[in-house]
Amino acid sequence: MATVTTRLNLSSLTGSLPRPFWVMWWGTLVNRLCGFVVPFLTLFLTAERGLTPVQAALAVSALGLGSFFAQLVGGVLADRLGRRRVMLLALALSPPFLLALGFAPSYPLILASALVFALVGEMYRPAANAAVADLVPPEERTRAYGLMYWAVNLGFAFAPLLAGAIAARSYALLFVVDAATLLLYGAFILLGVPETRPQAAPRGKGTGALAVLRREPLLLAFSGLTLVFALIMNQAYVTLPLAMRADGLGEGTYGRVIALNGLLIVAVGLFSARLLGRFPAPAVLSAALLLMGGGFGLNALADTAPLYALGVLVWTLGEVAQAAVAPGLVAALAPAHLRGTYAGALGATWGLSGLIAPTLGGWALGHLGDGLWWGCLGLGVIGALGFGLVAGPLGRRLAEAGEP
């Protein structure tokens, strides 16, 4: 009886989601479990390749630049060529450039490899988001995207342990294993995910990502508010460790504090997706921005590890809410034949934030000190008000489209 009850409870959390979705879920989990390179790239480039921190930061920025364009291009291609085909192309073509990044003999080739790897590899993201929207009925999308984000963080929670064991033997092996899991993810898609595109996007003028943004003010506003969210969140990996070091808290303390982010997501992610689906999406996104701004605003008062940890716990709740709700809302906003393009526009904001956040955050911390954290709080409040302003137009648009 206990086993039956457990299965029923798990079913209520995961929903009756189709088999291809679960194939993508497992592929995502395996890929993230061995997604070593990006988190360890700065350490690899400085410790193993002898680059300066500035040179390593430029290489990481090249990943952000490539991701920005990859999201826009990948979204359009997903609508024109098909979701499955774009995912397969990205996962099959990116491993050689990942290996080139690890074995490039010169700094210019490292920069070029980083740029092309992100440009090719990140194209699968809008295609995958569009495929989830195609496969899952509207009322289940919040749960589906929440489960996908849970898989990402479940894998990421254990990836550093595997990476540390592998790096102790060879940093080069990190690149080899990561590249192999990209191919394995591609095999999952090849064998278990059919083409999901409802219909081909009509060719001609006005179907590109920038053209869609120009004529779709709601998507443009949504992307702008998501950029605000991403700029705040990226400070966790840019300026937070610097602020903690200035308070006499070393890298080990930062590692333990930031680990709470992944642990909390793993702990609540499976349950939060079901809960969040009961509330209007704009209200959830407003709350997410308030939590994100408030969590980083707490850093202005922090000078000990427990206070910094409290901030992490607060903004992580905002991260969980945003990740579960935002992709589904964009999918509901998009015409079926443009779901990839809309998903790419949303994803591009994260690539853009990867370019802007390090410079902006570093300048603010250096010139304003704790003013950076008060600024994050202010941005969170402004962003929350912004979602309040677009809630009405979004609701009317979704009602016209017959979306819940």
* Region 66-75 average pLDDT: 90
CA distance 404 to 395: 9
Q: Does position 10 have pLDDT exceeding 50, yes or no?
A: no
Closest Cα partner for 292 from 368, 231, 359, 218?
Answer: 231
Q: Does position 8 have pLDDT exceeding 70, yes or no?
A: no
| pLDDT for res 96 | 94
| pTM for this predicted structure | 0.80
| pLDDT for res 14 | 54
| pLDDT for res 208 | 56
DSSP per-residue codes, 300-313: GG--SHHHHHHHHH
Q: Does position 404 have pLDDT exceeding 90, yes or no?
A: no
* 196 contact partners, CB below 8 Å, separation of at least 6: 20, 83, 84, 130, 131, 134, 135
Q: Does position 378 have pLDDT exceeding 80, yes or no?
A: yes
Angle between helices 339-368 and 124-135 (to 10 degrees): 130
Grouping H, G, I as helix, E, B as strand and the rest as coil, residue 380 is helix
**What is the per-residue pLDDT across 27-69, written as a single tens digit (0 to 9) for each?**
999 888 887 777 677 767 877 788 887 787 788 788 888 888 9
Give the pLDDT band of residue 3 (cuts 50, 70, 90): very low
**What is the per-residue pLDDT across 169-220, written as a single tens digit (0 to 9) for each?**
777 888 898 899 999 999 999 999 999 888 655 555 555 556 666 667 888 8
**What is the per-residue pLDDT across 217-227, written as a single tens digit (0 to 9) for each?**
888 888 889 99
Give the pLDDT band of residue 400 (cuts 50, 70, 90): low
**Neighbour count for residue 333 (Cβ, 10 Å):** 21
* Region 332-344 average pLDDT: 84
Mean pLDDT of the residues in the chain:
83
Q: Which stretch of 5-9, 122-126, 233-237 has the lowest confidence by average pLDDT?
A: 5-9
Domains of the chain: 18-200 (1.20.1250.20), 211-404 (1.20.1250.20)
